[in-house]
Each structure stands twice: as structure tokens, then as C-alpha cells.
Amino acid sequence: MKVKYFAWVRERIGKAEETVEPPASVRTVDELIAWLSNRGDAYAHAFEKPKVIRAAIDHAHVKPDAAIAGAREIAFFPPMTGG
Amino acid sequence: MGMAATIRIQEADFDIAREIAALGQGRTDVGAVVSFTGICRGTEGSEPIAALTLEHYPGMAEAEIKRHADEAMARWPLQGLTIIHRFGRIAPGENIVLVVTASSHRQAAFEAAEFLMDYLKTNAPFWKQEESARGNSWIEARDHDDVAAARWTKS
């Protein structure tokens, strides 16, 4: 699946998007965050406060317990500050 | 009702007068037009800033704003709705966002515009970075914006 990062999540990880293939045991958004956090210091830094991180699946906001099965694109970003 | 909202995510500035005029053009059933313009301030907190840079999530920004536009049109009798949100580098005094609502009566136009702005602030995927003498830093979300958005949730 494609994963996208925005704002300081993107800066900390050092890339705007990538393709990842988490194992089948990773079923939800918060499990994916935990799995990504183990990919290195940059990821651990970006996801150090998982409760602050917002997520979207295929362009719609989702909660941390949302299932990721079938997702084409998952995005992680800080709370939004538009408007 | 069949009315489609105009939603634009763009780097360029917009012409507020032209957008307002467009909603009333060729019709006589509009009795009220409300417009809200969000403008880049020259200070953040008490610190002067040189500019804001807005990052957005292309695709989701349009989808999320359309969801809220559809909800506004379902909740209030609107005859026209335009939402424009800019991205990129924006200097103090420049426009950031525009919401224009048209209705037969003012209450619907006022309420729908306020609802949309409250939701844009907390749910539209945009992030502001400020540029100042101390370097660049991401602006943090404000709790009172969440409170403002939550008051529109029907219990």
C-alpha cells in the first residue's frame, strides 16, 4: 500500500510517500503506526506521540482503530491548521 | 436541490468581489450573500512573521471540503456556495481562504458560512508553517478550533 506523510511527519521521516508491505498481523491504523515506528530513528521520532497523529485512508479521515485491509493509500499527518 | 458548490484549491489569489457577484448572477431568488475571507496576519502570537507556507494533501483536500459543502447544503437552504482555499507561500495581508454562501435569508447564509469555516480549520488537510527571523516552524492546532467545530455536531 502507498503511505503518504505531511507537514512535520513528512519532515521527520524525510520523505513524502513510499510503498510499504506490512505483515498480515498489522490490521489497524494504530498497529501500522507501531510497525512503522520500528523502521528506524526517523520513524520513531515522527511517531513518538502516536495520539497526536491523524490518519486518512483513501482521502477520508479515520480513527486509530480503523482497519487497513483494502486501503490503497494511507496518510499520516499532524492536526490540521488550515482555514 | 441540485445546486453544486464551487470548490477550488489553488496557489493563485482570488477576487472576492467577482466570486460574490458570480453567486447572484442571473437570478433573483438570492436575498443574502455572506462572505468570509481568512487573511494572513503579520504576527503569530506576538512574533512578527515574514510569511506563511501552506502545505496541503491534494485530492483529499478537495474531497474533504466537498463532504462539508454537501453537509452544509443538506442542513441549510443555500442557493449558492463557493469555497476557495490557497496553498503555497502567502505573505501578511494576502488572502488564504474564502467561503461565500448565498440564500434567500440571512440566517442560513451566516450559519452555513460559520459551520464551513469551523470545519475547514479542523478537518481540511492543510498545514501552516510560519517563516520568521527565528526560522521556520509549524503552527500548532488550537483547542478552541476543535471546540468551535464540535458545537455543530448534532447529538
- pLDDT on residue B18: 97
Do residues A20 and A26 lie in contact, with contact meaning Cβ atoms separated by under 8 Å? no
Task: Indicate the number of domains in chain B.
Answer: 1
Beta bridge partners of B88: B54
- pLDDT on residue B3: 78
pLDDT tens digits along B65-124: 999 999 999 999 999 999 999 999 999 999 999 999 999 999 999 999 999 999 999 999
- pLDDT on residue B149: 84
Model confidence, pTM: 0.94
Do residues B102 and B30 lie in contact, with contact meaning Cβ atoms separated by under 8 Å? yes
A75: closest chain B residue by CA: B57
Is the per-residue pLDDT at B1 higher than 70?
no
Instruction: Return the CATH number at B23.
Output: 3.90.1170.40
pLDDT tens digits along A46-80: 999 999 999 999 999 999 999 999 999 999 999 99
Instruction: Look up residue B117 and give its three cell numbers.
Output: 469555516
Asked whether residue B106 is domain-assigned, the answer is yes
- pLDDT on residue B155: 53
pLDDT tens digits along B124-154: 999 999 999 989 999 999 888 888 888 888 6
Query: What is the DSSP track for B110-139?
Result: HHHHHHHHHHHHHHS-EEEEEEETTEEEEP
Asked whether residue B151 is domain-assigned, the answer is no
Asked whether residue B142 is domain-assigned, the answer is no
Average pLDDT over residues B20-42: 94
Report the C-alpha gap between B42 and B51 in whole angstroms: 8
Asked whether residue B75 is domain-assigned, the answer is yes
Return residues 55-94 of B near A (CB < 8 Å).
55-57, 59-60, 63-64, 85
Judging contacts by C-beta atoms under 8 Å, the chain B residues touching residue A80 are 121-127, 141
Q: For residue B2, what pLDDT band results from cuts at 50, 70 and 90?
A: low
- Give residue B120's domain range: 4-135
A73: closest chain B residue by CA: B60
- pLDDT on residue B105: 93
pLDDT tens digits along A2-45: 999 999 999 999 999 999 999 999 999 999 999 999 999 999 99
A71 vs B: CB within 8 A: no
Asked whether residue B79 is domain-assigned, the answer is yes
Radius of gyration of chain B (CA): 16
CB within 8 Å: A61 and B122: no
Report the C-alpha gap between A23 and A9 in whole angstroms: 23
Asked whether residue B16 is domain-assigned, the answer is yes
Asked whether residue B147 is domain-assigned, the answer is no
Q: For residue B4, what pLDDT band results from cuts at 50, 70 and 90?
A: confident
Judging contacts by C-beta atoms under 8 Å, the chain B residues touching residue A75 are 57, 60, 125
Quote the distance between the C-alpha of residue B34 and its chain's center.
12
Asked whether residue B143 is domain-assigned, the answer is no
Radius of gyration of chain A (CA): 12
CB within 8 Å: B97 and A60: no
Report the C-alpha gap between B72 and B82 in whole angstroms: 12
